[in-house]
Every structure is written in C-alpha cells, then in structure tokens.
Amino acid sequence: MHAQAFKVGMRAPDDVSEGARLIDRGAFRAEHVVAILGKTEGNGGVNDYTRALATLSFQLLLAERTGQKVAAIAKRVPIIWSGGTEGLMSPHATIFTREPDRGAPGGAKRLAVGTAYTRDLLPEEFGTAVHARVAADGVRAAIEDAGIDATADLHFVQIKTGALTTERVNEARRRGKAVVTTDTYKSMAYGRAAAAVGIGVASGEVDGAKLEGDVIGHEFSVFSEIASTSSGVELMNCEVIVLGNSRRSTSELVMAHAVMKDAIDAGGIREALRRAGLAVDAELAAADRERLINVFVKCEPDLSGATRGRRHVMFEDSDVNATRHIRGAVNAVVASVTGDTMCYVSAGAEHQGPPSGGVVAVLARAGR
C-alpha cells in the first residue's frame, strides 16, 4: 500500500476547490481516495448541517471525477466531519488515498489507512452495549483493511456515528422501545461514548466484558488512547477510519500519538510531535514545520468544573455549549506549539483519552 494524505482548506462547507485543484494537477487520483476526515464551520451540535453539505459536496466532486454515482461513493469512501471550528480553528479536510505501491517497502513503519462501515443502529440500540459491539466489529474490519498487524501500530481510530432526533425518539416510542436519552444534544454524547468504548474493545485497551455494566457514558476511567468519535444526525451507523503504521506500507508519511492530560497540556502535544520524529523545543522547530501534515485531537472540559483547580464556567453556560468552548481553547494550545491553526480538534472525548484530557495524534512526513 502507498498511502498519501492531503490537508485542504475550505472557504465554506461546500468549497472543495483545493481538492479539485490537487486532482487537476495530478497530486492524486479521485479513484484512490479512501477516506476524508475534516472540520466544518457549523456549531457542532444537533442542527449542524455543515457536515451534510460538506459530505455531499465532496461526494459530488469524487463522483464527477471518477464517473461513479454519488450513491456508490457514499458506500465506499467514509467522509467524516467534526462540526465546530471555534476560536482560531481553520475549516479543512484531510484527504487520504491508497495507491499502488511505488517500489518495495523500506523496512520502516509507515502510514496505513483502512476503513469500514457498520449496519444502521436502531434508536433503542443507540448509545448501548449493542452500539459498542457493532462499532468494535467495524474497527476490526478496518484494521484488517489497513493491513496493520499489531494493535501497538494503531495511532488514531475515527468513528462517525449518529444521534437521536425527536423523530427517532418518537419512532422508538411508537414501537414501545426506550432510548438512552430523549435529549437530542445529549444523545450525541452517548453515541460518541459507545463508539469509543467499541474502539477500545477492538484495540484491546478495554475488556469486552465491561460492556455489560453501566460503563458507556458513565465510567470514564475506561478509555482508549487512540479513539476519536463524533456524532451527527445525518447517519445511524458507524463509519470507521483506522490510521496507523505498517511495515508493508510504502508511504512517505508516519503516524504517532500521545495523550493530553488536560486541556492546557501543551507537553502532550510536544510529545506526540517528537514521537512522529519532529524537532520541538518550546514550539515545533521552524525547519520541521513543512513536515507536519496534521494534528488530530480529542478534548473535553474538565468534568470537575475546574481546570487544575481553577473554576471554569463551561457547564453553566446556557448560551454556548461546552463543546464549543473547549474546541476553541484546545485548538489554540495546539496552534501555539505548531504555528498552525488548521488542525483537527474535536470535542466530546467520552472514553477517548483520560477524563478531562484526550487523544493527540500526529501525521507527518517521515524523516530520512
């Protein structure tokens, strides 16, 4: 496998022009795109339709350039958006390709990408152990698809899953079924939680037997260090993207990850950059800035209501959701280290990294 990745800025959720230009000048072929992961500029909440617009726009681009139907693209290429580019965060997509090998593998572990789709969940399954098991099966399929041999080589597993809407809740009720929550905004958290636990089960970080208890959405000492999940009303299944390294890959790119202990843990970011082979002093060395493709981060407000003992007001704010606050804060911390505000920071880190902290993964051009 020869995997590539291209970070493209977006002037609006339907702006696919940078990707189109890359195809035009031969940087990659539309047929080789296997996954897209990005940030759109909506509110990141239930009614954030920037995700749907961006998905449709990239599907139309790939359909046009490959001659395939949109419906076929939708079944083959997971396109996952996390809504919400608060603060300085710059809307963008990372386009992943898988292409024929260019020569033989060089011996070093290099970027490998795999994907999978699961079945749709019923409203009453949503946010439950069933949801987690379905997610875990999807992750295993994507790991196999990526050709990654050891779970230690997994560095970032992204799942996009659904959310409950008033209509889905009512539909379940009509059938006499209970749902985990009737609060549509909160259902997004349950979706992220179930998918994250599923990733942990597939990666071996979480004991599958744990699923029987009341873990999902409650027991946050159970977590995966490589899980990143987001949710949105536009789907009801799990779409999975696995990013890791493999000796069989001939990619020029490499993945690494570390953990942020809390929202201002710039040290965790520096550690992830170093693990990817980049030189970092207080900030990413100027000479290595070109080598950085993207940073992928999950985060959440400190659940205690205080960060390092200092009160925050995110949970008391009835105007702006806590997820919006924390994304803007953590993006700024990342950018103050890398110099680049165009990175992927997604909130709602239930079971994704330690409580009140999160996952930080780095995708970079490998050193020689």
Of residues 235 through 294, those in contact with a copy of itself by CB under 8 A are 263-267, 270, 281-283
Candidate list 14, 18, 153, 252; residue touching a copy of itself; CB under 8 A: 14
Site stretch for a copy of itself (CB under 8 A), options 27-35, 147-155, 246-254, 339-347: 339-347
**Beta-strand (E) ranges in 10-77?**
33-40
For the bound state, the minimum distance from the C-beta of residue 107 to a copy of itself, rounded and expressed in Å, comes to 34
Choose between 131 and 168: whose C-beta lies nearer to a copy of itself. 168
Q: Give the footprint of a copy of itself on residues 191-210 (CB under 8 A).
A: none
| Residue 61 in the binding site for a copy of itself (CB under 8 A) | no
| Residue 329 in the binding site for a copy of itself (CB under 8 A) | yes
Site stretch for a copy of itself (CB under 8 A), options 122-130, 139-147, 249-257, 330-338: 330-338
In angstroms, rounded to a whole number, what is the distance separating the alpha carbons of residues 156 and 154? 6
| Residue 305 in the binding site for a copy of itself (CB under 8 A) | yes
Choose between 184 and 246: whose C-beta lies nearer to a copy of itself. 184
* C-alpha count within 13 angstroms, C-beta hemisphere, residue 221: 2
| Residue 46 in the binding site for a copy of itself (CB under 8 A) | yes
In angstroms, rounded to a whole number, what is the distance separating the alpha carbons of residues 223 and 196? 7
| Residue 22 in the binding site for a copy of itself (CB under 8 A) | no
| Residue 295 in the binding site for a copy of itself (CB under 8 A) | no
In angstroms, rounded to a whole number, what is the distance separating the alpha carbons of residues 259 and 338? 16
Site stretch for a copy of itself (CB under 8 A), options 11-19, 103-111, 126-134, 359-367: 11-19
Question: For the stretch 67-94, what's the b/e string if a residue is b when 16 or more beta carbons lie within 10 angstroms of its beta carbon?
Answer: ebeeeebbeebbbbbbbbbbbebbbbbb
Which residue, 136, 258, 247, is CA-closest to 200?
A: 136
Candidate list 2, 110, 155, 312; residue touching a copy of itself; CB under 8 A: 312
**Beta-strand (E) ranges in 121-233?**
154-161, 227-231
**Cβ–Cβ contacts within 10 Å for residue 9, how many?**
13
Which residue, 304, 298, 313, 276, is CA-closest to 346?
A: 298
Count residues near a copy of itself (CB under 8 A): 78
Q: Per the structure block, which two tokens stand in for 144?
A: 């196999």
- Chain length of the chain: 368
**Cβ–Cβ contacts within 10 Å for residue 170, how many?**
12
DSSP letter for 27, please.
S
Choose between 141 and 335: whose C-beta lies nearer to a copy of itself. 335
Active site residue 75: no
Report which residue type is found at 97: T
In the numeric block, the tokens 């060089």 are attached to 106
Choose between 44 and 78: whose C-beta lies nearer to a copy of itself. 44
Q: Give the footprint of a copy of itself on residues 157-186 (CB under 8 A).
A: 165-167, 170, 183-186
Active site residue 160: yes
Q: Give the footprint of a copy of itself on residues 74-113 (CB under 8 A).
A: 85-91
In angstroms, rounded to a whole number, what is the distance separating the alpha carbons of residues 139 and 314? 32
Choose between 57 and 128: whose C-beta lies nearer to a copy of itself. 57
The catalytic residue among 57, 160, 187, 346 is: 160
Q: What is the dihedral of CA 172, 178, 182, 187, to 10 degrees?
A: -90
| Residue 147 in the binding site for a copy of itself (CB under 8 A) | no
The catalytic residue among 187, 203, 230, 246 is: 230
Q: Which residues are catalytic?
A: 160, 230
